[in-house]
């Protein structure tokens, strides 16, 4: 996977999708990345760096896993500086920093999001047990979209995207990740892929990245179509629509803050 694209993608380049720019595609019932093939579309693709790679701390309390699959895939930005360090070492350090912040400052059990993508295009497991749950069509409940965590799986994308777009490497990995999740959960990309601001009062995932969502949906659908999947037959979310809980007056705006991650209706932290 290339990690040398510091500039954001244009409207046409995003439509190349993961299949062209990262060598990723879902072909013949298996997800392939750079020639490595998993046994099924549900299994974690080879581009995923598991928690052991970034020396994750164990959760402070048991992680909640629902037998039902999520209905939405939520795209976030981390609201942090747009780093030009595209290395794997930086990506792994980012995951450690997010986990430390979420556990030590927010008092959460673990990283709030299920998956993280660095500006170098590296994809990391976030909350514990995420790949195993995806393989089983189950849902690890996180803390990333207030009052909707039981129906949403979240992808944190490193950077701030209010006025500029993500790197091509990040975009390529995001397309591949979205296609993997839609294939694993049988979700229609056009209905399931949302931005954080669709659920909560927040600027996340930034104006530019949010405006890219239609193209991201199309690109993920193209990857699934290359597998021979009838995208129109995939599941359209039937869960209750997004809610907009008020942001607490005393909620601090600190590093990695990009809107409310938990609300009064959430049963986990």
Q: Please write the tens of the pLDDT for every residue from 78-114.
A: 999 999 999 999 999 999 999 999 999 989 999 999 9
- 152 to 53, 121, 180, 207, 254: CA distances (angstroms): 25, 22, 15, 21, 23
Query: Judging by DSSP bridges, how do beta strands 48-49 and 65-66 pair with one another?
Result: unpaired
- Whether 200 and 245 have beta carbons less than 8 Å apart is answered as yes
User: Residue 111: CB partners within 8 Å, gap ≥ 6?
Assistant: 56, 95, 98, 99, 102, 103, 126, 127, 142
Per-residue confidence (pLDDT) for residue 257, from 0 to 100: 54
How far apart are the C-alpha atoms of 166 and 164, rounded to whole Å? 7
Per-residue confidence (pLDDT) for residue 29, from 0 to 100: 33
How far apart are the C-alpha atoms of 255 and 251, rounded to whole Å? 12
Domains and CATH numbers, the chain: 11-51+63-233 (3.40.80.10)
How far apart are the C-alpha atoms of 56 and 45, rounded to whole Å? 20
Per-residue confidence (pLDDT) for residue 38, from 0 to 100: 32
pTM metric for this prediction = 0.82
Per-residue confidence (pLDDT) for residue 18, from 0 to 100: 42
Look at residues 211, 137, 223 and name the one whose alpha carbon lies nearest to residue 172: 223
How far apart are the C-alpha atoms of 187 and 268, rounded to whole Å? 24
Q: Which two tokens stand for residue 96?
A: 């450690």
Per-residue confidence (pLDDT) for residue 190, from 0 to 100: 96
Which parts of the chain register pLDDT below 70? Answer: 1-43, 238-265
- 15 to 41, 95, 218, 223: CA distances (angstroms): 21, 28, 7, 10
Look at residues 162, 114, 202 and name the one whose alpha carbon lies nearest to residue 8: 162
How far apart are the C-alpha atoms of 81 and 69, rounded to whole Å? 33
């Amino acid at each position: 996977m290339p990690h040398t694209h510091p500039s954001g993608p244009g409207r046409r380049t995003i439509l190349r999708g993961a299949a062209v720019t990262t060598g990723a595609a879902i072909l013949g019932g298996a997800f392939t990345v750079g020639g490595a093939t998993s046994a099924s579309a549900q299994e974690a693709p080879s581009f995923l760096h598991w928690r052991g790679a970034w020396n994750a701390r164990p959760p402070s309390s048991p992680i909640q896993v629902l037998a039902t699959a999520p209905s939405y895939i939520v795209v976030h930005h981390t609201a942090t500086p747009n780093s030009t360090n595209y290395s794997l070492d930086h990506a792994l350090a980012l995951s450690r920093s997010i986990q430390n912040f979420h556990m030590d400052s927010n008092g959460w059990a673990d990283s709030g999001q299920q998956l993280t993508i660095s500006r170098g295009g590296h994809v990391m497991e976030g909350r514990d047990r995420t790949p195993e749950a995806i393989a089983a069509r189950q849902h690890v409940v996180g803390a990333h979209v207030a009052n909707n965590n039981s129906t949403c799986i979240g992808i944190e994308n490193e950077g701030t995207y209010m006025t500029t777009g993500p790197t091509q490497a990040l975009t390529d990995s995001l397309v591949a990740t979205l296609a993997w999740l839609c294939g694993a959960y049988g979700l229609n990309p056009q209905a399931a892929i949302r931005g954080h601001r669709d659920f909560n009062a927040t600027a996340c995932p930034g104006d530019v990245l949010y405006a890219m969502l239609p193209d991201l949906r199309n690109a993920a659908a193209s990857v699934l179509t290359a597998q021979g999947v009838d995208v129109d037959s995939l599941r359209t979310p039937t869960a209750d629509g997004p809610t907009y809980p008020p942001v607490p007056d005393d909620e601090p705006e600190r590093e990695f803050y990009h809107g409310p991650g938990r609300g009064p209706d959430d049963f986990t932290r």
